[in-house]
Structure 1
Amino acid sequence: MKKKSLFKNPFYRFDSLNILLFFTAWGIWWSFFQIWLTNTLHFSGEQVGTIYSFNSAITLILMFVYGAIQDRLRLKRHLLIFCSVMEMLLGPFFTWLYAPLLHSSFYLGTFLGSLYLSFAFLAASPTFEAVTERISRRYRFEYGQARSWGSFGYAVSALLAGFLFTISPNLVFWLSSFIALLLFLLLVFVHPEKNQKMIDLYENKIENAKESSTASPKEIVGVFKMKALWQIIIYIIFSTPLGDLRDYIGYSHTFLVISGITLIAGIYANFILKKDNVDVNGQPLSKD
């Protein structure tokens, strides 16, 4: 197939807008989440650290569940649509349920909030990215070029949130719900894959054949037996400092501890984790 203008590819346009809207809806509130917890709800650093720990733990588990489900769905959008519906509830959830519940019953609010945030955004993020990467291979465009629109949306939304947050923190949550509504409409009503002419023009037949095979439940469970997986998890734990240190030792000492943890994580990664060109089952990173 001859090289064509990127924006003429309807699959690239769809997925770029898809990932742009997702990261815009996420970034407009997530970039100020910690400030909202401390300045608006007046929680301590230890409490904020607890909230983030719950978020991380539930997200880590749910990512595997989402991954297994999406592997079964292949390029179908059912899971993405579910996530977008959950994202639309952000405004009501934060305004009328999450904030009051955190004050009245902190650990219950933390747990329920972590469930919601993981289902709607935190575990959804790699799912949206994985689907975009799959579509990029199947319909002949560079994943990185589509993914960059997500970074652009996150940056612009974070900038906009800085102005809205000073007016009312709730504005960023409700605006996120509105952007999620646009994402939902896109996923439900825009279907370039139904245009056979565009499929014939852009589809990579080899990648299409690969999509016919999916992982079995036994293979999915087998992932947890991989030594390399637990090595990476240990690396993540090393590189993630405890959020409640600030309450006890202050900012300056906390940054020193973070630097030490990062140094240890870097040494661990250098000697334990495999190099970029070792056991690569896909396309290795170019060293040109």
Structure 2
Amino acid sequence: MSNLKQLKFWNFGGMYYFYFMIWALIFAFLPFWLNKTAHLDTSVSGLVFSAMAVTALILEPLYGLIQDKLGLKKYLFGFVVLCLLFIGPFVQFAFIPLLQINAVFGAIVGGAFLSLCLNGGVGVVEAYIERSTRASNYEYGHVRLFGSLAGGTAAFIGGIMFVRNPYSIFWACTVSAIVLGVLLWALRVKNVDTSSEDSKENEETPVTKENIMNVFKNRSFWGFCIMMIGIATMFDVFDQQFPNYFTSFFDDASRGELVFSRIASIQVFIEAGFMVLTPWFINKIGAKNGLILAGIILFIRILGSAFFTEIWMLSLWRILASIEMPLMLISIMKYITGVFDVRLSATVYMLGFNFAKQIGITIFSYVMGSLYKTMGFQNSYVIMSLMVIVFVTIGALIMKSERHQQPTVNNNLVASR
């Protein structure tokens, strides 16, 4: 039985690894590809990311309700994997021709397709694996660290691949999707394993319309949404164009791209280490405080990038994300299961986190892209850092603290790995 649990743990880890390998390759190198290969300016590139966000806005409410109805069934996850399989062919044979026909039209179509896999699809992946790990009695953060390891791997090999052939990045995504599909097919998860009969009964009780409406009546849900705009939205918007800002300090752009990929690789490997420790830390300080701390770190990271522009300092601000990301991800999951009905964890995650984040990205990707063009990166970063503080403060004032929970985890498994 212990061997079976070990195998399932590695299966979860492998799913995270290969999904976030795709995620990291796309988001680390798509800005470079749009700039160097597709020859788009920052405003049109921002439109690609806005289109990704708008598509996610349409998908997230549907995805959340469907996944909560499906529970531990894998159909929706399988659809996301199917979309991932076509990333390589789409970018190689369709994206550039569409952009040549009309840059705006191509940006919208390309962003919409990528959203099926990424901005929209990530909610399905995160919600399904979080529920499955909880059902299998694992600590979510210990499995999620494989996503960080994937990010480090992608950043390390992606720089080499991109310099040699920019399209190879996207074909690597297709290969990763094949492996992800095999791991998903092999996964077997039983119903929630818990010693509490009340908890088991709650998990198995069908979700009703009243349950869903109660989420919207909870003030913490709206505070959580505002907090996510301040942290998750601004995190993504900041990282969208930061690679181009970073490489602008190099005489040779290719050299800058390679250096950035190495720094990003170091950052995500450090992030993986923090991912192991963060669940314990969040259990001590509380998930709400964890989110506030993540917002403060993001504020420092953005503001620092505006004023301290030596390459080594910009590298340091990037590496700070290795602390910020685990705090944000673990706090989000623990806050959702600590404040809201666990049967609706996918719905709350999709709407409170992803939907709210995509609303923010839809607006701020284009706004910041335009500001970069008119004001430059440094002045724009000062404005963005102030936005972070405002949203985080308002969200924190509205949100209630979560119920104190000490989740049961498979300590023997964690120790043995």
TM-score exceeds 0.5: yes
Distance 1:165 1:74, change over 3 A: same
Residue 182 (structure 1) aligned with residue 179 (structure 2): yes
Distance 1:224 1:168, change over 3 A: farther
For residues 212-223 of structure 1, what are the structure 2 equivalents within 5 Å? 212-216=204-208, 219-220=211-212, 223=215
Q: Deviations for 1:254-277, whole angstroms, at most 9, x for unmatched residues?
A: 112112222322332333x31433
Match of 1:255 in 2: 381
Q: Quick check: which one's helix share is greater?
A: 2
Moved more, 230-239 or 120-129: 230-239
Match of 2:405 in 1: 283
Moved more, 38-47 or 168-177: 38-47
Partner SS state of residue 53, structure 2: helix
Does the Cα contact within 8 Å between 2:219 and 2:399 map onto a contact in 1? Answer: no
Match of 1:274 in 2: 399
Q: How far apart, CA to CA, are the structure 2 residues paired with 1:164 and 1:110?
A: 23
Normalised by the length of structure 1, the TM-score is: 0.82
Q: How far apart, CA to CA, are the structure 2 residues paired with 1:102 and 1:64?
A: 29
Q: Which amino acid aligns with 2:94?
A: L
Does the Cα contact within 8 Å between 1:29 and 1:161 map onto a contact in 2? Answer: no
Q: How many residues align?
A: 271
Q: Which amino acid aligns with 1:76?
A: K
Q: Which amino acid aligns with 1:283?
A: Q
Distance 1:204 1:146, change over 3 A: same
For residues 1-288 of structure 1, what are the structure 2 equivalents within 5 Å? 8-188=5-185, 190-193=186-189, 203-204=193-194, 206=196, 209-216=201-208, 219-220=211-212, 223=215, 227-237=219-229, 240=234, 241=364, 242-271=368-397, 273-277=398-402, 280=403, 283=405
Moved more, 235-244 or 42-51: 235-244
Q: Name the Cα RMSD after superposition.
A: 2.8
Q: CA deviation at 1:229?
A: 4.1
Q: CA deviation at 1:90?
A: 0.2
Q: Which amino acid aligns with 2:374?
A: Y
| Identity level (%) | 25
Does the Cα contact within 8 Å between 1:102 and 1:109 map onto a contact in 2? Answer: yes
Q: How far apart, CA to CA, are the structure 2 residues paired with 1:218 and 1:275?
A: 21
Does the Cα contact within 8 Å between 1:137 and 1:204 map onto a contact in 2? Answer: no
Does the Cα contact within 8 Å between 1:6 and 1:12 map onto a contact in 2? Answer: no
Does the Cα contact within 8 Å between 2:18 and 2:179 map onto a contact in 1? Answer: yes
Distance 1:256 1:163, change over 3 A: same
Q: Which amino acid aligns with 2:369?
A: G
Partner SS state of residue 261, structure 1: helix
Partner SS state of residue 169, structure 1: coil
Q: Which amino acid aligns with 1:10?
A: L
Q: CA deviation at 1:238?
A: 5.5
Distance 1:245 1:214, change over 3 A: farther
Q: How far apart, CA to CA, are the structure 1 residues paired with 2:167 and 2:219?
A: 44
Distance 1:226 1:167, change over 3 A: same
Distance 1:91 1:228, change over 3 A: same
Does the Cα contact within 8 Å between 1:24 and 1:179 map onto a contact in 2? Answer: yes
Partner SS state of residue 376, structure 2: helix
Does the Cα contact within 8 Å between 1:27 and 1:157 map onto a contact in 2? Answer: yes
Q: How far apart, CA to CA, are the structure 2 residues paired with 1:264 and 1:15?
A: 37
Q: How far apart, CA to CA, are the structure 2 residues paired with 1:134 and 1:237?
A: 24
Q: CA deviation at 1:208?
A: 5.2
Flag the structure with more relative contact order, 1 or 2, with Cα contacts below 8 A and sequence separation at least 6. Answer: 1
Distance 1:218 1:108, change over 3 A: farther
Q: CA deviation at 1:284?
A: 7.5
| Structure 1 unaligned residues grouped into runs of 5+ | 194-198
Distance 1:266 1:28, change over 3 A: same
Q: How far apart, CA to CA, are the structure 2 residues paired with 1:113 and 1:168?
A: 20
Distance 1:96 1:29, change over 3 A: same
Q: How far apart, CA to CA, are the structure 2 residues paired with 1:270 and 1:69?
A: 30
Q: CA deviation at 1:133?
A: 1.4
Does the Cα contact within 8 Å between 2:162 and 2:168 map onto a contact in 1? Answer: yes
Normalised by the length of structure 2, the TM-score is: 0.59
| Structure 2 unaligned residues grouped into runs of 5+ | 235-363, 408-417
Q: Which amino acid aligns with 2:385?
A: S
Q: Deviations for 1:3-28, whole angstroms, at most 9, x for unmatched residues?
A: x9798433322211111111112212
